Every structure is written in structure tokens, then in C-alpha cells.
Structure 1
Amino acid sequence: MDSDFRDMMSSFPTGVSVVTAQERGMSPCGMTCSALCSLSVNPPSLLICLRTESPTLRAVVDSGAFAVNLLHGEAEWVAALFASGAPDRFDRVTWRPSRHTRSPALVDAAHAIAECTVDRAHPAGDHVIVVGAVRSVERFRRESALLYGFRRYNEWSQTAPAARR
């Protein structure tokens, strides 16, 4: 069943983000996350799903804040880096503390960044669903987004041919 479920979900393309958090006095934490969706426009909120054992989840909950860095189409290497768990990943990317929550903002890899505070968290299997209240959004002039589906990355661009009808 596990492999059938994984195969099914791999055929569902989704945007790629890196969720980051900063605990006081600690190193920044972050992980690649494709389990993300908008939840509400009023008030603006989104949800992310993070592994129960993830250090990033611990940082998100302990700090009460996080940033969702939506990756642009040329940032596949950043998605792979933050999926790898490499301990030096923040040394290998350009980042700065975000304006409101101080969560790491991956300014060169993202086409948009949402700063969130934790509204609530719900355990669900081997993950925790975190509902975030969006406090601010920063957008950059980049015309593509990174997608993941069928176990590979691809780029979706504003200049791509129109969708079939």
C-alpha cells in the first residue's frame, strides 16, 4: 500500500517551497516542502505539513513563526540541498532574516516569501499539520516557479504556451 500511495502522489505535480524557521540563539532550520496549500484568504492563512521528527518542525513550533519560500524555476539545486539535510545548507545559499518574524528568507532562490506565525498545529500520522497566519508577503520579479511531479523537477513559466482547452 505504501508504494502504491507514493506512486499515486508522485503523479500529482505541486509547487516546491523551502520552509524555514529561526530559533533564538540557534542555527536556522529549513527543509524542502511540497505539502503546502492556501487555506483562507480572509484571514490570509496557509498550511504546511512537516515530518514529526523534523528539526524544522521543532524550530517552527518553538519559535512560533516560519517563512514559506516559494522557489523559482532555476532553484532546483536549492530544493535538492534543503531536501538533503546537509548541515551546512544555510552556508551555501543567500539568505537574510525576514522583516517581521526573523525567519530565514531565501532571497535569491524564491519568487515569493510568506512570513507566518503559527496559529495551530495538528498531529496527523507521521506528520504535523501547521496552520500559519500570513503576516506579510514579499514578491520578487521572477517569472517562473519550480514544480515537482513524476519524481522530477520542472519549471512553470509565465511565458509558457497557453494551456489547452
Structure 2
Amino acid sequence: MTHGHPTPHLTHPEPVQPDEFRSLMSDFPTGVAVVTTIDEGQPWGMTCSSLCSLSVSPPTLLVCLRAESPTLGALLRQGTFAVNLLHGDARAVGELFSSGATDRFDQVTWSAGATGPHLTEHAHAIADCRVTRTVDGGSHVIVFGEVVHVSRDDLRSPLLYGRRGYHTWAS
């Protein structure tokens, strides 16, 4: 016995257009993270809003990075990365790391973390991760990262991104 309305039968529906999908996802606010790594002594990093927790045991998160990204290439060669969760006053850092600026690490204070650069002044939490697996996701690669260390600053509020704009978590 079913309740409610019957489910319409769709036989091979076509996917929505990219603009419609982007519009849908803009209505899903998310935290702002900068994923970083070091490869042959050079720091790499990019803003990433496609991040989620996967498992507590083992502690694993997923980051989805553009397949052509030089940061992704460096991350895969190194096998480690850091996830810097930006705080509410770090909008400029989120914008910088989503730009094409090649000197982005010259414009921020950072320190070498266990698995990648830490943006300590700009992050309210940082996770050091090691790559355990990747999956092709079309235009992006899904990277599984086992979290090996966490540092947090509970005094700072998270930076959020939604509806194509930055916002601060209101406590």
C-alpha cells in the first residue's frame, strides 16, 4: 500500500542544464575551505566548497577538486593535503585562493603543517589528511582523505558560501 501521490514513471530523463544545476547548488550553503599541499617545496592551494565528512572510523573526508587543477596534481603526487576551514573574517583569502593568482601564498601568512600549508591566521579549523583513494567524478576528482591530525580555534566563526555570496555564521 502506498500513501500520497504516485511516483511518475520517468524512463531515461535528461540531465538539467549546467546553469540550472549551478543555481540549485547555490541554494545549498556550505563552509569555505582552502585545500593545500606542498610538492617539491612549492605550496599549492585552492578554495574548495565541495567538502564533506564520509566516515568517523576511519576518520575520512571527501574533497572534490577540478580535474585540471594544478593543486590536484600536486596533491596526488605528494599523497597528503591540509583542509583549512576559513573563519568569518577570511573572505579575502577564500577569494584569493579561488582566483588564478599564482602568487597567492606570497599574499597570506602560512606555516608548514604535517601534510600541507596551514593558514592558521585565516582558519578556524585545520585537518591534516593523507590520500587513501580517488574516484573520477567527471569534471572533478573525488579525493578521500584520512584525517591524521586536527587543530581548532573555537573562538572564530566559520565563513559560509551560498547564493553566490560569502556570509558569516551567526552564533
Aligned match for 2:100, one of 79, 85, 96 = 85
Residue 24 of structure 1 and its aligned partner are, at CA, apart by 2.0
> What is the CA–CA distance in structure 1 between the aligned matches of 2:119 and 2:154, rounded to whole Å?
14
The C-alpha deviation readout for 1:72-116, integer Å capped at 9, x for no partner, is 000000000000021111011010010x22x10001000000000
Residue type of the alignment partner of 2:90: A
Measured in 2, the distance between the counterparts of 1:28 and 1:143 equals: 25
1:52 pairs with 2:59: no
TM-score between the two structures when normalised by the length of structure 1: 0.91
| CA shift for structure 1 position 140 | 1.9
The residue aligned with 2:19 is 3
RMSD: 0.9
Alignment map for 1:14-163 (pairs within 5 Å): 14-25=30-41, 27-98=42-113, 100-101=114-115, 103-157=116-170, 160=171
TM-score with structure 2 length normalisation?
0.88
Q: What is the percent sequence identity of the aligned residues?
A: 57
After TM superposition, give the deviation of residue 34 of structure 1 in Å.
Answer: 0.3
Compute the displacement of 1:143 (Å). Answer: 2.7
Instruction: Kindly state the Cα deviation for residue 138 of structure 1 after the two structures are TM-superposed.
Output: 0.7
**Aligned mates of 1:145, 1:58 — CA distance in 2:** 28
Letter in 1 for 2:88: G
* Larger-gyration structure (1/2): 2
> 2: distance between equivalents of 1:142 and 1:111?
8
1:12-54 per-position Cα deviation (integer Å, ceiling 9, x unaligned): 10000000010023x2110000000011111111000000000
